[in-house]
Chain A
Amino acid sequence: MFDIAFNTFDEIINMKGHGIYVWLVYSISILIIVLSFTITRMRIKNICKRININNASG
């Protein structure tokens, strides 16, 4: 169960012709998830900054 299914790094990338599909799906999905976290965290920081500015001025 824990033997790696591929022999070389090229085989991992190529996956007998299916590598393009597998890696495309995983890379875009990981990108979407990472972007979601990043954007949400950025927006929280921005809103906290805005609240602090309003608090300080008001």
Chain B
Amino acid sequence: MYPYLLFIGITTLMIGWIWGVLYAPEDFQQGNSYRIIFLHVPASIFAQTIYYFMSICALMHIVWRVKLAAYLIKSAAPIGAMITFIALFSGSIWGIPTWGTWWQWDARITSTLILFIMYLGILTLHGSFSNLEKADRLMSILVIVGVVNLPIIKKSVDWWSTLHQPASISTSGSSIDPSMLMPLLISIVGLGFTLISLGILSSRLYILNREKNKKWVLEHV
């Protein structure tokens, strides 16, 4: 399943990015620098989506003691940290030609930085304990408590006056032209499949590492 998902992900992502970077028309205000949107917006969306996924897994681990759920959290956290870093990095570079600054202490950017620190905190917390069952449980508790931070990130643009532009895509529609919206949506789908395949690979690695002394692993390998 993983090779098919990876193939679909990479193909869709390349279609979205090539369409957006080469074929989409230039923005009349931002010029060609807006083309970073086809990476930045999907990365921002998945930075939060991965955390929501982790919080569902954390709930499953805490309530129903599903061991696999904890493994999925531990596999997803580095991917979440990576994609949040990409979102921050791409946003910073985009800010230079658009706002004249690579960093601004406004609500959305700061909240995304907080999310990145939370991912690092989760990974550090889990790595600090030699007793992995204890580490899984504490990590799950932290993930569930941290999930309250996500609505603050999502709504921050509405609650505070900010330099960051409002959401490009929302449940009430989109503010951008279809010639730019289509490659953006395709990029979102492509990045989603790519990250799912990376997640499958990462969880395979973690499960093998955690269960390496078990009989089923010896038979499987």
Q: Do chains A and B touch in the complex (CB under 8 A)?
A: yes
B221 adjacent to A40 (CB under 8 Å):
no
Which of the residues B17, B94, B208 comes within 8 Å of A21, measured between beta carbons? Answer: B94
B135-165 near A? 1/0 per residue, CB < 8 Å: 0000000000000000000000000000000
**CA–CA, A52 and B209, complex, Å:** 13
A47 adjacent to B33 (CB under 8 Å):
no
Question: What is the total number of residues of chain A having a CB less than 8 Å from a CB of chain B?
Answer: 34
B22 adjacent to A51 (CB under 8 Å):
no
Can you report 8 A-B residue pairs in the complex whose CB atoms are below 8 A from each other?
A: A1-B179, A2-B23, A5-B26, A15-B35, A25-B36, A25-B94, A40-B202, A48-B221
**CA–CA, A39 and B184, complex, Å:** 28
Interface residues of A (CB under 8 A from B): 1-6, 12, 15-19, 21-22, 24-26, 28-29, 32-33, 36-37, 40-41, 43-44, 47-48, 50-52, 54-55
Which B residues lie within 8 Å of A16 (CB)? 26, 31-32
User: Besides A21-B94, A51-B221, 6 other CB < 8 A contacts?
Assistant: A4-B22, A6-B22, A22-B21, A22-B36, A32-B85, A33-B198
Interface residues of B (CB under 8 A from A): 17, 21-26, 31-33, 35-36, 39-40, 43, 79, 82, 85-86, 89-90, 93-94, 96-97, 179, 182, 194, 198, 201-202, 204-205, 208-209, 212, 217-218, 221
Which of the residues A1, A6, A44 comes within 8 Å of B205, measured between beta carbons? Answer: A44
Per DSSP, are chain B's interface residues mostly helix, strand or loop, or mixed?
helix
A22 to chain B, nearest CB (A): 5
